[in-house]
Amino acid sequence: MINSRNDIVSLLKEYIVTQQEYVYQFWMPEAHEWNVKKQVAYYNGIVLGKFREKDAFTLQVLKEGVTDQALYDEIKINLERHIKMIEGLEQPDIMNKMQMESYKRQRDELSRDTIDDWISNYCRWIQEDVMEISYSEIRVLLFIYYSFDNYDYQRKHPFCSDLNELEVVYKGNLDKQNQFFKYGIVPVDDERELLPIEPPRIYDRKINKTFFTKNVPLNLLEKIADMMSSGIVRDFSVRLLNEPGYNGKLYCEYIAEALERGKVFDFVNLGNYSISRLYSKEYENCMWVVIDPQNITFEELCKEFEIYNDMIVTQVVHLQYEMNEECAYITHLDHEYVFYTVDEYENRMKNATQKGTAKTRMKSFKIDNSRIPFDYRCEVIRKDEHGNDLPQKDEQFLCYVLECYFKHKDLLKEYFQEILS
C-alpha cells in the first residue's frame, strides 16, 4: 500500500526522464524519435501517456493501492499551490478569478467530503479515459498524476537549490574552484554561450549540451548579453535548471504574445541618481538599503513574506563599486535569495546585521570584474497592465535590476524619488 509520495519517487524520476525526451522534440524537431502515435498518447501529460503505453513500472505501481491520506495530501498540495499562484498575479483576469474560485471550492469539499466522493465529483475526466482498470487502480493513477505534478513543480521551484543532476554533468568538466561548486551558478565564457531567447538558456560547446537558465528573467539576460558584447560586463555566471541538459544546441524559440504582461517598468522618468545621492538616505520600510564606501545592498522584507520549507525567504541585490575621479563604476553585482528562521526574521526586521542561516544563500546570477558606469542606462520595452506596448524609454541599470526582482515597486519608486528630490 502506498503511504506517501516517497514510496513512488523512483517512478517519478523515470517520468522526469520521459518528460525531458518529450520536451526535446519541440526544441529540436529534426532530431526527435517520437512518432505521431506516441505523441498522441502523451497529448495530456506524461502520467497518462505512460499509462496508455502500458509502461510496465506504471502498471506494477497501480496494483499496490493507495491510502486515503496519501491521496488527500497530494491533491490538497496541488490545489493550494494553484490558488496561491493566482493570488500572486498582479492583474488576474476574469478566467483566473473563475479558476481560483473553482480551486477553492474543490479544496473546501476535499476537506469536508470523503476522498471517494471528491473523486466522483471532480475526476470524471480520468475515469472516462481509463475505463478498463479497476477503481482501486484509478485511485493510484490519480495519486501518481498529482504527485508527479507536485514533484515536478517542487524540483523547478525558484527556491530549490538542488544540483544533483548538474553535478553529474559537470563533476569532471569544471574544476573545484569554479563558480558552480562555490555558488551553484555556471560561468558564461568561451565554452558556454548565453542564448537570450525564450525560454533563456546556455549552450555548452565543450560537452555539446543546452541548459535552461533559472531565476533570471529573459529581459534582464538580454540586457546583460548586450553589456557583455560591449565589454562593460566581463564575467557573468547564471543559475541553471537542475537537469542533465539537452544534446546539441537548442535554437528554437517559444513565442508568447503576452511575455511581459504585468511587468510595468515605470522608473524611466526618475532621471539619473548618483552614489552621493544614495549615501544620503537609509530606508527601512520593508526595504533596507545598506551602503558603505565599496558596497550597496538592497534587501526586500515583505509583510506578506515568502515561506519555503518552513523558512522565510527574502531577496537581496548586492553590488560593489569603485570611484574613478568623478565617475563611479559597478564592478560586481548579484541577486540572491536569503533563508531565515522565524526568530532570525523577526530580529532582521529591526537589525540590519542579522544573517539568515536557515539555509545557504542561493544566487541567481553574478557579475564580476566589470566596469558598468553607475549611470548606465538601458532601453526598456514596456507594456501596460493589459499587455499593450508602451513607448520605449531608457532606465538606469540598477533600477532595472531591482524592478526585475523586487515586488514592492511602490517602495522602490518612493526611495529613488526621495534621493532625487
Tell me the average pLDDT across 293-304: 86
Give the per-residue pLDDT at 267: 44
Q: Taking residues 282-286, report their average pLDDT.
A: 57
The pLDDT of 156-182, averaged and rounded, is 90
Q: What is the pLDDT of residues 344-361, one digit of tens each?
A: 999 998 888 899 999 999
Which is higher by pLDDT, 32 or 382?
382
C-alpha triplet 388, 394, 396: angle, nearest 5°: 125
- Domain definitions of the chain by residue range: 5-156, 158-421
Q: How confident is the model at residue 394 (pLDDT cuts 50, 70, 90)?
A: confident
How far out from the chain centre does Cα 128 lie?
A: 34
pLDDT at 259 > cutoff 50: no
Give residue for cell 522565510. 312
User: What does pTM read for this prediction?
Assistant: 0.86
What are the CA-CA distances from residue 71 to residues 116, 139, 329 (Å)? 10, 8, 56
**More confidently predicted of 78 and 127:** 78
Q: Which candidate, 204, 207, 217, 59, places its Cα nearest to that of 141?
A: 59
Name the grid cell of 86. Answer: 493566482
Would you say 314 and 337 are in contact if contact means Cβ atoms under 8 Å apart?
yes
Tens of pLDDT, residues 374-384 = 889 888 876 66
- In angstroms, the CA 381 to CA 386 distance is 14
Give residue-wise pLDDT tens across range 406-421.
Answer: 987 777 777 777 665 5
92 vs 189, more confident:
189
* Residue, of 263 and 145, whose pLDDT is higher: 145
How sure is the predictor about 330, in pLDDT bands with cuts at 50, 70 and 90?
Answer: very high
Is the bond preceding residue 92 a cis peptide, omega within 30 degrees?
Answer: no
Q: Is the dihedral of CA 343, 349, 352, 355 positive or negative?
A: positive
Of 243, 198, 248, 207, the closest CA to residue 28 belongs to: 248
pLDDT cut 90: percent of the chain above it: 62
Q: What was the pLDDT predicted at 264?
A: 40
The separation between the first and the last C-alpha atoms of the chain, rounded to the nearest angstrom, is: 67
Confidence (pLDDT) at 274: 55
